[in-house]
Amino acid sequence: MPNPLVVACLVGGAFTQSLDLTIANVALPYMQGGISAGRDQITWVVTSYVVASAVFTTPVGWLAARIGRKKFFVYALIGFTVTSMLCGVARSLEEMVLFRLLQGAIGAALMPLSQAMMLDIYPPEKKATAAALWGSGTLLGPILGPSLGGILTDYLSWRWVFFVNIPVCSLITLGVVLLYHEKTADARVPRFDGTGFALLAVALGALQLVLDRGTTEDWWNSAEIQIETAIAALAFYLFIVHSLTKKDPFIPLHLFSDTNLVAGLLGMTAIGMFIYSTMTLFPPYLQTLGGYTVTETGLLMAPRGVATLISIQLSARFLSKVDARYCMAAATMFMGVSCWIMAQWTPDVSRAEMLFVGIIQGIASGLFFGPINLRAFATLADSDRTNASMLLALVRNIGGGVGVSVSASYLAFSVQQAHANLAENITPFNRALQHGAAGMMWNPAIPFGLESLNRTVERQALIIAYSHDFMLLLMSCVLAVLAVFLIGGSKSAKPAQPPQFHAMD
């Protein structure tokens, strides 16, 4: 059996990278004042990290083949530590976004490399155990991020949501250097398709700009959004054409002939949208509407992490006896039920109900993530693991980035629409606002009454908007359903022959 300390270091690398996807979420209101950012701008702290992680996940397979998995993993850990420190000392929005981009770009390799290295050190009969352990770290990161971020922000400072990475990553780096022994590297190295990488990076970057700035720029009525949309569409088109016509494309196309991997990609997209969107929406809901402190918000979100840890370990035991599709079908149902419950919430929802929903979401994440991750690799050759891990991490980050941006944009749109609908009947001639307590507090004919009434309408509009957003999250479960239908049976097919790589010119 592998050395437990080595396993802890590899899982810890994935945990640390995924933790930073959500650890800053509860600190965003505090960070907003510290770096002089607007309410619509502060979400760039989250999306810049996600999109950088997505873009720079793509060359991981080639770099790992050139450098070696262990050496590349260590370099990524060191870079992640340095950029985390830079994020912690940022003084402006521009600096924060730049450092978060660097942090996401450098840390993008941690997740796919740790997954491939975990599968290397476990024998074939223990792959389910390896997948469950690695999945625990990957899922617990974004789920426990708000809890840890809340405690650090309340008792220290929002800057410590980044500084905490320094001692943790330093220990993981030391452990990997001293304890991990890499297998003999394959001498074959694929060519690096720079054109494919550049086209994909431009496409993803332009798409993220459209999603982030669409709300403030009035979407396609803005020339900027029109240009960015055209760039994203053209770059995606050219990337597809380039990949189909090039001998050694940036993303090996033979991987998409594996139905299980394709199902895994759909499933990872869905889980990314679901987890990252709920992690981004839930903390502001509790703090803005519920009146909870940042620490209370974090603690209310902690039980879902415990539920995830338990369910992903149980799913690893079930998979030897139960078809993986049953686990994923149950998980999809739990996700949908939790979104439906949240859509009915008002700010006075009980803590018990919030904890119950968090536990449901944790169970769903564990039941879905473990099986989909294991089945995605079931029929792949060993030489395809790194590229497959890269693709899974890529679509998970893309799903998360798109989910966060769409949720934030739809929330802003819904607030405006709900505010307009509620304000239609609020006029100085509304007799209900001229008598009794309402006449004293909400009379629109006097400045104090108008201001108080507007605050009340804004609060109600925000409650309605959050309800609409939670219903939108329900739609992400459709992708998960597609993945369940596409996934293969419980028996693994014979792995495909490894592709023939050529030395780089």
Query: CB of 308 within 8 A of CB of 136?
Result: yes
Superfamily per CATH, domain 4-180+250-416+459-486: MFS general substrate transporter like domains (1.20.1250.20)
Amino acid at site 82: V
8-state DSSP, 445:
T
Six-digit token pair at 484? 């369940």
The answer, yes or no, to whether residue 178 has pLDDT greater than 60, is yes
Residues 6+ apart with CB under 8 A from 259: 486, 487, 488
Report yes or no: 145 and 46 within 8 Å, Cβ to Cβ. no
What does DSSP assign to residue 285? I
Tokens at 499, concatenated = 């592709």
pLDDT (tens digit per residue) in 205-238: 788 778 767 766 667 778 888 888 899 899 989 9
Q: Is the pLDDT of residue 494 over 70?
A: no
What count of other Cβ atoms lies within 10 Å of the Cβ of residue 283? 26
| pLDDT tens digits for range 8-28 | 888 888 888 878 877 777 777
Burial class (CB within 10 angstroms; exposed 0-12, middle 13-18, buried 19+) of 102: buried
What's residue 57's pLDDT?
A: 76
- What is the mean pLDDT of the segment spanning 403-412? 78
Residue 163: pLDDT over 70: yes
Q: Are 364 and 91 in contact (CB under 8 A)?
A: no
Any alpha helices (H) in 92-164, and if so which ranges?
Answer: 93-107, 110-121, 127-155, 160-163
Tell me the average pLDDT across 474-500.
56
DSSP letters for 248-281: S-SS-GGGGG-HHHHHHHHHHHHHHHHHHHHHHH
- Exposed/middle/buried for residue 352 (C-beta within 10 Å: 0-12, 13-18, 19+): exposed
**pLDDT bracket for residue 468 (50, 70, 90):** confident
Q: What is the C-alpha end-to-end distance of the chain, expressed in Å?
A: 40
Taking each helix axis from N to C end, the angle separating 351-376 and 259-284, rounded to the nearest 10 degrees, works out to: 160
| Greater model confidence, 427 or 501 | 427
**For residue 78, what pLDDT is reported?**
92
* pLDDT band at residue 433 under the 50/70/90 scheme: low
Q: Report the distance separating Cα 219 and Cα 111, nearest Å.
A: 34
Tens digits of residue pLDDT in 318-362 = 666 777 777 777 888 888 888 888 888 888 888 888 888 888 888
Chain-centroid distance of CA 148 in Å reads: 17
pLDDT at site 435: 59
d(CA 118, CA 4) in angstroms, rounded, equals 11
How many degrees, rounded to 5, is the angle at CA 462 between CA 289 and CA 142? Answer: 65
Cα dihedral 20, 21, 24, 29, rounded to 10, equals 170
Residue 497: is its pLDDT beyond 70? no
What's the rounded mean pLDDT across residues 375-396?
73
pLDDT one-digit tens code per residue, 68-105: 888 888 999 999 999 999 988 888 878 888 888 899 88
For 303-325, what is the mean pLDDT? Answer: 73
Contact 261, 391 (CB under 8 A): yes
Contacts 24+ apart (CB under 8 A), 61-64: 61/112, 61/190, 61/386, 61/387, 61/390, 62/189, 62/190, 62/192, 63/109, 64/109, 64/113, 64/116, 64/386
Dihedral sign for Cα atoms in the order 453, 456, 461, 462: positive
% the chain with pLDDT above 70: 79
**What's the mean per-residue pLDDT of the chain?**
76
- In this predicted structure, what is the pLDDT of residue 86? 92
Ordered by start, the domain boundaries in the chain are: 4-180+250-416+459-486, 194-249
Q: What is the mean pLDDT of residues 352-376?
A: 80
pLDDT category of residue 444 using cuts at 50, 70 and 90: low
Rounded-to-integer distance, Cα 492 and Cα 505, Å: 37
For residue 420, pLDDT over 60 is answered with yes
pTM above 0.75, yes or no: no
